[in-house]
Structure formats: C-alpha cells, structure tokens
C-alpha cells in the first residue's frame, strides 16, 4: 500500500503552531513511508474562506519546508458531495430535522435535568408527512442529520491503541445546514475516499468524530483509512494554548519574532515524543526518525522560550554561506568575518543589527577609568588584525599590572559600550584602529 495523507486547513486565518504540528506530522510520515502529502483546502465555508489566506497557507508551508505533492480545493467538488448526500438520503441514513438552535438548547437542558446525556433525541425521525408540510408552510428549512447505528465502533489507533465508542452516546451529526451548505464531516469523508487517503493524522480532539466518520465511510461503501490521533499542544503551564494562538501564527513567528523554520520544525516534531528536543539544520533527520510509536499520550507542552533557545542554537551552528544572501538583503555587511564573530551571540538573525551598530557605530563608549583607557590607547597596534587583541592586552597588562576582569572588561566597555558580547579579538578587528582610538578617548564613534 502506498501511503497518502492530507493536511486540511480552512483558509479562514493564518497557520499557527497547532495546525503546523499536524501538517508536520503528516509530512514526516508521508516522506518516511515514500508516500504522498496532499494539501486539501477546506473552503466549503465560502463566506469566511479567502484566497488571500489560502496563499498564506501555501507560503507558510513552503517556508517551513513542508512541500506538498498535490493540492485540491473542496469548493471545486460540491457536485461530488451532492451525490454522496443523495446516496445517504436514498438509504434512509440522512434525514431532515427542523429544530432551531434554541429548541435544541432547551432539549439538551431537559435531558441533563432528567439525568440523560445531552444528545439529540431523534425526534425528527418521528415526523409525519403532515409535520413536514406544516414546517414547510411555516418557512422552516431542514438541516440534515446522519443516522448513526447506535452500535459500537472500534478501531486501532496508531497512537492511542484500541478505541471503542458507543455511537448511542453521540448525537446524530448534522452534515448539511439549513442553507444547504456542508459542514466539515461529509466533504472530508468523500474526499478521503475518492482521493485515496490511507491515513488520517490529526489531533485527539477528533477522536469522537472518528466514530461517526467511520460509519459514514461504510455507508458510502468504503473502508475507513487508518487513524492516528495525537495529543494536543498546551501551554508551558499546562493550560490551553488556544487563547494564545494568534501570537503563535507562523507569520508572526517569522516576521515579528525572527524565528527560523527549522527551529519550529525541530521543536514541533519532538514535542510529546520519547526523543529529546534538539536543533536540526534540515528536515531529513526528522523524516528518518519519525514513528507514531514514539508519540506519547500526554499533552505536548509548547514553550516559546524553548523555541527561542532552539532558534539561537541553530543560528550558532549556521555557516556563513547559508545566511549570506539574507544578510545582504538585510543590508548587514562585514562578510564572513562579521558573521563568525557574532553568530554565537544571536537569538534571532535580526539581532545581527545590534552588533552591526556596535561595529560601525556610533556608540557611546563606557569609560570607567580615563587614565587606564588613555594608557591602553597608547599601546594599540598601528595595524589591527585577528591577532591584535591578544598582543594588545598582553602589552596593556604588562604596562598597567591589570589582569583578568579588571583588564578585559574596561576595554570591552570602552570599545563596545556593552559588558558582554562576541569575542573581542574579532570585534577589535572589525571596529578598526581609528574608531577604537576615538572610543578609548571617550568620543561617540
């Protein structure tokens, strides 16, 4: 069997870390199995779906390195959903119901008061022809519910193991709204059947939905795919992440926070698994190491601080030729020497701007002891190179008797205005003699 999976976002907003994790799991599994990764745009909600969001979804996936092999839009397939709905109606499995939302809410409250589960009572199945005619005269339009078997649905989940759900404990799901538009469930099943989806990989909040979907698969004459329901992301404190997802959109992480794509993939691929979170420079090791057996059952805690730390570690190990073009676009000069000097002090690539300003100035030097700074300036070599810092500080040590922190920190403060930062041998060479002399004299340069 050739594996085929799908990532199915709705183009009603930007991708965030929650659905990126689902996309990543589908992508890694498909690539590990030599299968196909399909982007299915769930745009049946024509009022809220936009082409702009659809383009952003594609852009974000490509930026993350999650290239899809195929793409389709549900809005192109309404005729296929109509055919499936007609088949279910003919089989007596899709039936009209007329209750308003207020009536359904009262029904749920009454059942709770009676000690019964708040599921739909199937009153619509008892309607007579006269009842249907009366509702039509009143101007009511039906929504359409799928008639569950009220039997046990079982499957072996690739993450959760053996699953068993009594569909008698569920409400018959609404597949078609009063205005004739489709909810998620029926189009999803029809597409999975007709596009040959072999595995459905998604969050565990869909576990209960799977029981109803399995029955719809079989009602349409198809065997359901395999399912893998993974634990949801939660905040670092164990609380719900949903309220914070707006600030965890891929666009925000990329454009505002300066996060690298592989930092996101490295973290999301390993969260909630039996393997340690590590920084990866490319996706290949994550593909090779992917297995549903490694995914645990506990919620996966997403910590933005851990993401930033991973981002820093990735930048620290990134060679110049991989960032040269981006630095040029950002108008950050200094070449390979500058990059090698500052990269160990970066959390994001944007931080390179700070060290460029330190090198090129002007900065306000911090002079703690003007006499010491003047003595050091007198000993500064006329030609500054990579070895000059060591030679210079040795000469200053001999002349002043200073050593350790009392020697190095005042010089760093004078030359950079900061108590810590990149190694000073490279920084002195980048700053240059003329600018160093001015700073040692306390001038803004």
Q: Which of 23-27, 97-101, 134-138 has the highest mean pLDDT?
A: 23-27
13 neighbors 43 (Cβ within 8 angstroms)? no
Task: For residue 229, give both structure tokens.
Answer: 């329901």
324 and 188 in a single domain? The answer is no
Q: Given a cut of 70, is residue 260 above it in pLDDT?
A: yes
Mean pLDDT of 108-115: 86
**pLDDT value of residue 386:** 87
pLDDT attached to residue 130: 95
What pLDDT score does 360 carry?
A: 95
Q: Is the dihedral of CA 407, 409, 410, 416 positive or negative?
A: positive
Task: Assign 253 a pLDDT band (cuts: 50, 70, 90).
Answer: very high
Domain membership of residue 82 (yes or no) is: yes
- Please identify, among 299, 327, 360, the residue that sits at the C-terminal boundary of a domain: 360
Residues in the chain: 445
Residue 290 domain flag: yes
In a domain, 190, yes or no: yes
For range 329-358, the mean pLDDT = 96
Which ranges of 349-404 does DSSP label H, i.e. alpha helix?
352-360, 370-378, 388-400
Q: Does 84 share its domain with 161?
A: yes
Which pLDDT score, from 0 to 100, does residue 162 have? 98
Same domain, 172 and 202: yes
In a domain, 445, yes or no: no
What would the pLDDT profile of 141-150 be if each residue is shown by its tens digit? 999 999 999 9
Residue 264 resides in a domain: yes
- The count of C-alpha atoms lying within 13 angstroms of the C-alpha of 77, restricted to the half-sphere facing its C-beta, is 23
157, part of any domain: yes
Q: What is the Cα Rg of the chain in Å?
A: 31
Looking at the structure of the chain, the number of domains it has is 4
Which CATH number covers residue 123?
Answer: 3.40.50.620
Task: Using pLDDT thresholds of 50, 70 and 90, give the confidence band for residue 110.
Answer: confident
Are 216 and 90 in a shared domain? yes
Residue 370's SS3 state is helix
Confidence of residue 115 (pLDDT cuts 50, 70, 90): confident
Same domain, residue pair 186 and 85: yes
Range 409-424 average pLDDT: 96
Q: Are 107 and 155 in contact (CB under 8 A)?
A: no
**Cα–Cα distance measured from residue 442 to residue 26, given in angstroms and rounded to the nearest whole number:** 59
**Do 147 and 218 fall into the same domain?**
yes
Check pLDDT > 80 for residue 242. no
| 157 three-class SS | strand
C-alpha span between 9 and 20 (Å, rounded): 10
Two structure tokens written together for 209: 């939905």
pLDDT more than 90, % of the chain: 91
Span 166-194, pLDDT tens digits: 999 999 999 999 999 999 999 999 999 99
Q: Are residues 220 and 122 in the same domain?
A: yes
Residue 243 clears pLDDT 60, i.e. is over it: no
Residue 279 lies in a domain: yes
End of a domain among 299, 333, 360? 360
**Which range, of 46-50, 65-69, 71-75, 287-291, averages the lowest pLDDT?**
46-50
Residue 280 sits in the same domain as residue 185: no
Mean pLDDT to the nearest integer, 249-267:
95
Structural domain containing residue 59: 4-75+232-312
Residue 247's pLDDT is: 67
**285-331 pLDDT, tens per residue?**
999 999 999 999 999 899 999 999 999 999 999 999 999 999 999 99
Mean per-residue pLDDT for 360-364? 94
| 418 and 278 in a common domain | no
* Co-location of 86 and 226 in the same domain: yes
- At residue 302, the pLDDT reads 93
pLDDT score recorded for residue 356 = 97
pLDDT at residue number 111: 85
Per-residue H/E/C for the chain? CCCEEEECCCCCCCCEHHHHHHHHHHHHHHHHCCCEEEEEECCCCCCCCCHHHHHHHHHHHHHHCCCCCEEEEHHHCHHHHHHHHHHHHHCCCEEEECCCHHHHHHHHHHHHHCCCCCCCCCHHHHCCHHHHHHHHHCCCCCEEEECCCCCEEEEEECCCEEEEEEHHHCCCCEEECCCCCECCHHHHHHHHHHCCCCEEEEEHHHHHHHHHHHHHHHHCCCCCCEEEEECCEEECCCCECHHHHHHHEHHHHHHHCCCCHHHHHHHHHHCCECCCCCCCCCCHHHHHCCCHHHECCCCEEECHHHHHHHHHHHHHCCCHHHHHHHHHHCCCCCHHHHHHHHHHHCCCHHHHHHHHHHHHCCCCCCCCCHHHHHHHHHCCCCCCCCCHHHHHHHHHHHHHCCCCHHHHHHHHHHHHCCCCCCCHHHHHHHHCHHHHHHHHCCCCC
- Return d(Cα 174, Cα 104) in angstroms, integer: 12
Confidence of residue 244 (pLDDT cuts 50, 70, 90): low
- pLDDT tens-place string over residues 366-399: 999 999 999 999 999 999 998 999 999 999 999 9
Task: Using the 3D structure, point to which of 303, 332, 360 is the last residue of a domain.
Answer: 360
Mean pLDDT, rounded, for 348-359? 96
Quote the crossing angle between the two packed helices 78-90 and 185-194, to the nearest 10°: 100
Mean pLDDT of the chain: 95
The answer to whether residue 365 is domain-embedded is no
Q: What is the DSSP string of 5-60?
A: EEE---SSS--BHHHHHHHHHHHHHHHHTT-EEEEEE----TTT--HHHHHHHHHH
* pLDDT tens digits along 182-229: 999 999 999 999 999 999 999 999 999 999 999 999 999 999 999 999
**Whether residue 262 sits in one domain with residue 218:** no
Task: Answer yes or no: do 159 and 47 share one domain.
Answer: no
Contact predicate 199/224, CB 8 Å: no
């Amino acid at each position: 069997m050739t594996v085929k999976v799908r990532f199915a976002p709705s183009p009603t907003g930007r991708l965030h870390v929650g659905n990126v994790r689902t996309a990543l799991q589908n992508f890694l599994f498909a690539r590990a199995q030599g299968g196909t990764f399909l982007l299915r745009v769930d745009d049946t909600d024509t009022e809220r779906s936009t082409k702009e969001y659809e383009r952003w979804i594609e852009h974000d996936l490509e930026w993350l390195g999650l290239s899809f092999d195929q793409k389709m839009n549900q809005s192109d397939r309404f005729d296929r959903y109509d055919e499936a709905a007609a088949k279910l109606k003919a089989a007596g499995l899709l039936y009209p119901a007329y209750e308003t939302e207020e009536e359904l809410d009262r029904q749920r409250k009454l059942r709770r008061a009676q000690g019964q589960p708040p599921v739909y009572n199937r009153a619509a199945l008892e309607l007579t022809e006269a009842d249907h005619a009366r509702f039509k005269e009143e101007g009511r339009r039906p929504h359409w519910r799928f008639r569950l078997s009220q039997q046990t649905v079982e499957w072996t989940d690739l993450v959760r193991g053996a699953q068993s759900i009594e569909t008698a404990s569920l409400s018959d799901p609404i597949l078609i709204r009063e205005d004739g538009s489709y909810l998620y469930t029926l189009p999803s099943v029809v597409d999975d059947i007709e596009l040959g989806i072999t595995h459905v990989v998604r969050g565990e909040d869909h576990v209960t939905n799977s029981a109803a979907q399995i029955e719809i698969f079989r009602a349409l004459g198809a065997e359901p795919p395999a399912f893998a329901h993974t634990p949801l992301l939660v905040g670092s404190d164990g609380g719900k992440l949903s309220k914070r997802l707006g600030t965890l959109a891929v666009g925000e992480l990329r454009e505002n926070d300066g996060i690298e794509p592989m930092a996101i993939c490295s973290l999301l691929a390993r969260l909630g698994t039996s393997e340690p979170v590590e920084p990866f420079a490319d996706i290949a090791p994550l593909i090779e190491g992917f297995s549903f057996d490694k995914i645990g059952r506990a919620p996966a805690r997403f910590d933005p601080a851990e993401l930033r730390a991973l981002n820093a570690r990735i930048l620290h190990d990134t060679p110049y030729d991989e960032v040269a073009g981006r630095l040029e676009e950002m108008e950050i000069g200094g070449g390979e020497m500058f990059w090698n000097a500052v990269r160990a002090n970066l959390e994001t690539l944007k931080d390179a701007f700070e060290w460029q300003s330190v090198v090129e100035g002007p900065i306000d030097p911090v002079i703690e002891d003007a006499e010491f700074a003047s003595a050091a300036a007198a000993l500064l070599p006329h030609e500054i190179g990579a070895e000059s810092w060591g030679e210079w500080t040795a000469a200053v040590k001999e002349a002043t008797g200073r050593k350790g922190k009392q020697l190095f920190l005042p010089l760093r403060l004078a030359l950079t205005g900061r108590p810590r930062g990149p190694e000073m041998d490279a920084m002195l060479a980048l700053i240059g003699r003329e600018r160093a002399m001015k700073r040692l004299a306390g001038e803004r340069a």
